Amino acid sequence: MQYPNGKKSSVYTKLKSNQTVYSNRGMSLEDDINDTNQYYLAHNIAIIHKKPTPVQIVHVDYPKRSAAVIKEAYFKQASTTDYNGIYKGKHIDFEAKETKNKHSLPLHNIHQHQIDHMKQIVNHGGICFLLIRFSVSQETFLFPAEELFPYWDQQFNGGRKSIRYETVKKLGYIIPIRFQAKVDYLAVIDKYYMENGGTTNGR
Binding site listing? 80, 82, 95, 114
Decide the pairing of beta strands 127-134 and 90-99: parallel
The 10 Å CB-count burial string (b at 16+, else e) for 89-109 is ebebbbbbbbbeeeebbebee
- The 144-183 site mask, x for binding its own copies (CB under 8 A), equals ----------------------------------------
Residue 28 binds its own copies (CB under 8 A) = no
Decide the pairing of beta strands 162-164 and 90-99: unpaired
Residue 7 binds its own copies (CB under 8 A) = no
- Angle, CA of 48, 52 and 58, to the nearest 5°: 165
Residues in the chain, total: 203
Residue 1 binds its own copies (CB under 8 A) = yes
Residue 7 vs 76, nearer CB to its own copies: 76
Which one of 87-95, 104-112, 140-148, 171-179 is the stretch in contact with its own copies (CB under 8 A)?
Answer: 87-95
Could you tell me if 72 and 59 are in contact, meaning their C-beta atoms sit under 8 angstroms apart? yes
Could you tell me if 95 and 82 are in contact, meaning their C-beta atoms sit under 8 angstroms apart? yes
- The 118-137 site mask, x for binding its own copies (CB under 8 A), equals --xx-xxxx-----------
Q: Which residues bind its own copies (CB under 8 A)?
A: 1-2, 4, 41, 44, 46-47, 49, 51-55, 57, 67-76, 79-80, 84-91, 93, 117, 120-121, 123-126
